[in-house]
Chains A and B, each alone.
Chain A
Amino acid sequence: MSEAKLEVTGLSKYFYGRAGDIRKVLDDITVSIAAGEFVCIVGASGCGKTTFIRCIAGLLPAEEGAVRIDGNLVTRPGSDRGFVFQSDALMPWRTVMQNILFGLEVRGHPLSEMQPVGSRLLNLVGLTGFEDHYPNELSGGMRQRVNLARALAIDPQVLLMDEPFAALDAQTREIMQRELLKIWAKERKTVLFITHQIDEAIYLADRVLVFSHRPGRIAADIRISFPRPRDLTLKRNPDFLKHVDEVWKLIEEEVVSAMAGEIAARPAISP
């Protein structure tokens, strides 16, 4: 195996309730991701996958264990990681171009130096001609393109994507998946992509990590070896569907057992 770009060792995370209760959200996660690898994390909602990616981004502190990028310990956000937010989180008062260049601007790069970078990214995400538009003039898919371009602008080593297509309609989501793979083929970043959509994970990834339900744990690490470039027709391939089935079974058990636990824990209420 090639040297690890992103290494997570023994990561655990707790949430402290108002009533003094402590809940374990992530349980001893160890995973190693190679440079240029595209890894997807799937899991039912509430399994801690968003908490996990936030720990890697440095938005949340890791209480036990460590996150390393190129061997360097992560303690806070840094320019080695680009974060693509679930809600596009674009600033309504900034144009598309100004939103894309936000990360460079706060690092104090001069404007003259930023324009070519901005134009290249606009072209990369297919938004040339929209540089002076405001976010509220764009569709959801276009806004996510800007969100992605903003993360890429700081030229990060690792791209962290937190369910970026979850709010898009089914057709737009498929198009965006294809576009993302095209962009990734050009940029060759290490990608960690969170989703609850199994077919999305399998279509995009080299590796799919299946998270167990509360506390989050890696239940399975599945290698997806379909050749690239991948076409959307891959989703109808029998081998693809076999993978979908495999992952669904893993998650189904988790969801059902978790739901059973919740129901058992709750006092019975008569209608």
Chain B
Amino acid sequence: MAVAAPDQRTADLSPADRIAKLVAAMPEPADRVARRSRLRAVISIVGGMVLWEIVGRFIVTNPILFAPLSKVLLAGWALLRSGDLIAHLAVSGLEFAIGFGLATVLGVALGFAMATSRATQDFLDPWVSFFYSSPLVALIPFFILVFGVGIASKVAIIFLVSIFPILLNAFAGIRAADESLLEVGVAFNCTRWQVFEKILIPAALPYIVVGLRLGIGRALTGVVVSELFGSTAGLGWLIGTAGQSFDTPTVLFGVLMFSFFGVVMVEGLKWVERVVAPWRKVTQEVR
């Protein structure tokens, strides 16, 4: 395999061309790359919306099978004006807040307990493995029998599907704490609580954020599926009843709302991470 020497490759170029070649080889400034990334994202989203509209209007004309974006948004507008949207959102939001909130608090606490106490880990590990790998949504009929069709059965299922990724990531975060940093704690005579507070928790924080991000996705699935199964209100219920009455635009609008809130929460989490863990932002920006 012959490799041409650099001078041979550029020997037949004029000085201006050589400079142009050098300039082309230079890395682009980061802000320009970022701006172009954003522009591409906007083009992609707008393009997708236009495509949706075209497909719904001209290609799939059966109103049960699909609906153009404009009709979906109009259905949403009607729900907003009637006040139904806010009412359903409030129910789903409350279920999510309680279930996911409990999962966060208990998941982090149990994850920490398992990571710091061998006995706790030994006792809890089989149950965590069992529940984490089983399809917990299968418990929905059971929870509805026990807790009724109201909010409690939904909270239970949301809690249960979202606690395990949070717990396991909190556990992994503590376990992944740098051995040499723990030694710094020992060398500086930290109390056990100080080691926990000043070394283990900050070290685990990025892992906890990952756990919460996974938990959000599972919790949203928990909201929809549990409301579809048996409920009297909520965004999932709205989707279910709209589907039964062949109201495709409302179904799609409900799905859109779930996606929207999922994205908002994940982005919110990123923001929280930047505030509580500024050193991580620095890593991303410097490199």
Q: Does B85 contact A (CB under 8 A)?
A: no
Known: A87-B180, A137-B282. A57 touches B202 (CB 8 A): no
Does A103 contact B202, Cβ atoms closer than 8 Å? no
Contact mask B6-27 → A, CB, 8 Å, 1/0? 0000000000000000000000
Does A93 contact B283, Cβ atoms closer than 8 Å? no
Which of A87, A92, A106, A134 is in CB contact (< 8 Å) with B188? A106
Query: Which size bracket describes the interface of B in this complex?
Result: 20 to 34
B191 to chain A: which residues have CB within 8 Å?
Answer: 106
Does A77 contact B188, Cβ atoms closer than 8 Å? yes
How distant is the Cα of A79 from the Cα of B189 in the complex, in angstroms? 8
Minimal Cβ-Cβ distance residue in A for B198: A106
How distant is the Cα of A136 from the Cα of B278 in the complex, in angstroms? 12
B178 to chain A: which residues have CB within 8 Å?
Answer: 89
How distant is the Cα of A106 from the Cα of B286 in the complex, in angstroms? 30
B198 to chain A: which residues have CB within 8 Å?
Answer: 91, 102, 105-106
Which of A78, A89, A106 is in CB contact (< 8 Å) with B181? A89
Chain B interface mostly helix, strand, loop or mixed? helix
- Closest Cβ of chain A to B190, distance in Å, is 5
- Closest Cβ of chain A to B96, distance in Å, is 30
Q: Does B184 contact A (CB under 8 A)?
A: yes
Does B277 contact A137, Cβ atoms closer than 8 Å? no
How distant is the Cα of A57 from the Cα of B189 in the complex, in angstroms? 11
Does B202 contact A91, Cβ atoms closer than 8 Å? yes
Known: A93-B279, A134-B282, A136-B286. A85 touches B189 (CB 8 A): no
From A59, A76, A77, A93, residue with most partner B Cβ within 10 Å: A93
Does B282 contact A106, Cβ atoms closer than 8 Å? no
Q: Does B199 contact A (CB under 8 A)?
A: yes
B278 to chain A: which residues have CB within 8 Å?
Answer: 134
Q: Does A154 contact B (CB under 8 A)?
A: yes
Q: Does B125 contact A (CB under 8 A)?
A: no
Does A93 contact B186, Cβ atoms closer than 8 Å? no
Chain A interface mostly helix, strand, loop or mixed? loop
Query: Which size bracket describes the interface of A in this complex?
Result: 20 to 34
Does B277 contact A76, Cβ atoms closer than 8 Å? no
Does A106 contact B183, Cβ atoms closer than 8 Å? no
Does A91 contact B181, Cβ atoms closer than 8 Å? yes
How distant is the Cα of A191 from the Cα of B205 in the complex, in angstroms? 37
Q: Does A83 contact B (CB under 8 A)?
A: yes
Q: Does B194 contact A (CB under 8 A)?
A: yes
A103 to chain B: which residues have CB within 8 Å?
Answer: 188
B199 to chain A: which residues have CB within 8 Å?
Answer: 91
Minimal Cβ-Cβ distance residue in A for B191: A106
Does A106 contact B202, Cβ atoms closer than 8 Å? no
| Residues of A77-134 contacting chain B, CB below 8 A | 77-79, 83, 85, 87, 89, 91-93, 102-103, 105-107, 134
Contact mask A34-62 → B, CB, 8 Å, 1/0? 00000000000000000000000101000
How distant is the Cα of A78 from the Cα of B202 in the complex, in angstroms? 24
Does B180 contact A89, Cβ atoms closer than 8 Å? yes
From B184, B185, B198, B203, residue with most partner A Cβ within 10 Å: B184
Does A154 contact B188, Cβ atoms closer than 8 Å? yes
How distant is the Cα of A57 from the Cα of B183 in the complex, in angstroms? 11
Known: A76-B189, A106-B190, A106-B198. A89 touches B183 (CB 8 A): yes
Q: Does B145 contact A (CB under 8 A)?
A: no
How distant is the Cα of A240 from the Cα of B205 in the complex, in angstroms? 51
Does A134 contact B189, Cβ atoms closer than 8 Å? no
- Closest Cβ of chain B to A211, distance in Å, is 22
How distant is the Cα of A137 from the Cα of B280 in the complex, in angstroms? 11
From B187, B198, B205, residue with most partner A Cβ within 10 Å: B187
A76 to chain B: which residues have CB within 8 Å?
Answer: 189
- Closest Cβ of chain B to A176, distance in Å, is 19
Does B202 contact A83, Cβ atoms closer than 8 Å? no
How distant is the Cα of A91 from the Cα of B202 in the complex, in angstroms? 9
Q: List 6 A-B contacts (CB under 8 A).
A: A77-B187, A91-B199, A91-B202, A92-B279, A103-B188, A154-B188
B→A interface (CB under 8 Å): 178, 180-181, 183-191, 194, 198-199, 202-203, 205, 277-279, 282-283, 286
A-B complex: 3 closest residue pairs judged by Cβ atoms: A89-B180, A134-B279, A93-B202
